Amino acid sequence: MGTSSDVLSKSPLDRIPIVVVTGQDARGPTRFKPSRFNVQATTAEGWLLLWNTYSGSMNAFRPSQHDAVRALISQQTEADDSLRIARYLNDRGFLVPVQTDELRRVRYAFGRENYRSDRLELILLASEDCNFRCTYCYEDFRRGTMLPSVREGIKNLVRSRIGSLKELSVSWFGGEPLYGMEAIDDLGPFFAEIAVEAGLRYGTHMTTNGYLLTEEVADRLLAYKINDFQITLDGLPDDHDRHRAARDGGKTFATILRNLCALAARPDHFSVVIRVNFDRGNAPGLEAFLALLQQNFAHDERFVLAFHAVGQWGGGNDANLDVCGTDESHAVRSKLKAAARSLGLNVTGGWQPGLGAGEEVCYAARPYNFIVGAHGDLMKCTIDLDKKDHNLVGKLRQDGVLELDVDKMALWTEPAFERDTGCQGCHMLAACQGVHCPKIRIDSGERPCPGIRRTAKQEMVAYFASTQAGAAAAGKSAVADEATAEEEVS
């Protein structure tokens, strides 16, 4: 029996032996239910494809496994952790404990990401002018190169965050960013150096038309760690030059292709998304265009194609654009992606593994993301820019202080799914969180569903077919991690 002083100085509970319980405890087995965020598709050969929009997991189960696995995720049979396959499906997110509130999980994921203070994303308009006059462009070209005072404000903003910042992302946009090379030469080395000094995870991107991306300019950009690009080619020369003429009406295709080929000849590590915009005018010629790309970029992992339908994005020429309808766009895109893959070209866009919680949320919805204009305007959406007052959320001062309009920031970054019961009941909620495109909800009040919500099953089947084909060509299995699952399905 301890003395009073012993009891006051040390908890008597510490004298009780600790019993370590392994395996199933007295509460019995853990019961599982199917996740509400599962998407399933079946291939023509009978493979069952599962994707969970919260965990991002994708699994392919062989035809022999199809019925047993589908029963588990359809509540047709009991599922608990006495079944190894149930534990496997739980680990992947397809089954969750019966007491789980998955809407609450989404709220947590949204808050955890939206209110972080260790990340800063800047989209910098190095120049708001452009050397092109594309038919579908929505910009006004009212300002030139970013002012020196704004560049100093950006440096001071980043300096002020050192200590709390862990991740810095810088995207160069315009106008045409290479029109503002003076700003890039000033800020590019600064970002690269301070990221190293402060130990930041640093990512860069540039959306450029590629016309000014000469070998000498590429040398400078790569030295600044700017090594991820999006460059647009809209088909064969006649089609491209009709869409994307120079500001003096001149042709641009040959120069861009020459610069891309020079980039491909380099040994450096970089990535280029070749964006292909299509409408009813150029779509018929794009398969021939792919043959040209094959000659220069096939089997080069640094080059990837992305196909996008031309939209009426708010430009003065919108009424004259021969845009495709939604179903037509999907059909054209699917056909082009299949054709490109058959030629050994890499393709991005649409469904891919790892597409999980928050992956379909627009950058504009995140409070840590800002567009900085050439004169220091702070904006959220790269389509609205300074054309709509609600997109002008503040001003960057030269000392690095962000003068923000709280109400406008709240408009862009609110958890809109909280007041949208349609979003709350949707299997895509985990990925898009109701803010796939805040602009749509702000402009029209309509729910901004991602396109993948309509096309997920087709995209999953197409992706699986392409990985199977690629694995077969390499003599490997595309479903290596399903072997374990197969052993457990009876």
Looking at residue 4, its pLDDT comes to: 63
Q: Distance (Å, rounded) from C-alpha 458 to C-alpha 431?
A: 18
Helix (H) / strand (E) element for 273: namely: strand 271-278
DSSP category for residue 99: T
Query: pLDDT-derived band of residue 488, with 50, 70 and 90 as boundaries?
Result: very low
Domains and CATH numbers, the chain: 29-100 (3.40.366.30), 113-372 (3.20.20.70)
Q: Average the pLDDT over 58-66 and give the result.
A: 94
Residue 485: count other Cβ atoms within 10 Å of its Cβ. 20
Average confidence (pLDDT) over 381-403: 97
Q: Between β-strands 392-396 and 377-379, what pairing exists: parallel, antiparallel or unpaired?
A: antiparallel
The pLDDT value given to residue 474: 56
pLDDT band, very low/low/confident/very high, at 80 (cuts 50, 70, 90): confident
| 479 has pLDDT over 60 | no
More confident: 6 or 3 = 6
CA distances from 384 to 75, 308, 362, 379 (A): 46, 19, 14, 9
Residue 480: what pLDDT?
A: 38
**Which tens digit of pLDDT belongs to each residue from 135-184?**
999 999 999 999 999 999 999 999 999 999 999 999 999 999 999 999 99
Q: Does 1 score more than 80 pLDDT?
A: no
Residues of the chain above pLDDT 90, percent: 81
Close Cβ partners of 125 (under 8 Å, ≥ 6 residues apart): 146, 173, 174, 175, 177, 180, 371, 372, 373, 374
Q: What is the pLDDT of residue 118?
A: 97
Residue 46's closest CA among 25, 28, 70, 26?
70
Above 90 in pLDDT, residue 340? yes
Mean pLDDT of the chain: 91
Confidence of residue 481 (pLDDT cuts 50, 70, 90): very low
Average pLDDT over residues 458-468: 86
Give the pLDDT of residue 306. 96
Q: What angle do CA 183, 186, 190 make, to 5 degrees?
A: 130
Where do the H-state alpha helices sit in 37-147? 66-73, 84-92, 102-114
How many Cα neighbours within 13 Å face the side chain of 20?
A: 1
The answer to whether 185 and 220 are in contact (CB under 8 A) is yes
Q: Which of 281, 284, 261 is nearest to 272 (CA)?
A: 261
Mean pLDDT of 398-402: 98
Give the confidence band of 9 by pLDDT, cuts at 50, 70, 90.
Answer: confident
Q: What is the pLDDT of residue 83?
A: 86
Task: Output the six-digit token pair for 261.
Answer: 């080929």
DSSP helix/strand/coil, 262: helix
Q: How confident is the model at residue 351 (pLDDT cuts 50, 70, 90)?
A: confident
State pLDDT tens for residues 286-334.
999 999 999 999 999 999 999 999 999 999 999 999 999 988 998 999 8
Confidence band of 483 (pLDDT split at 50, 70, 90): very low
pLDDT for 143: 95
Nearest to 161 by CA among 194, 113, 112, 187: 194
What's residue 482's pLDDT?
41
Instruction: Please report where in the chains the tokens 């680990």 appear, as a residue.
Output: 91
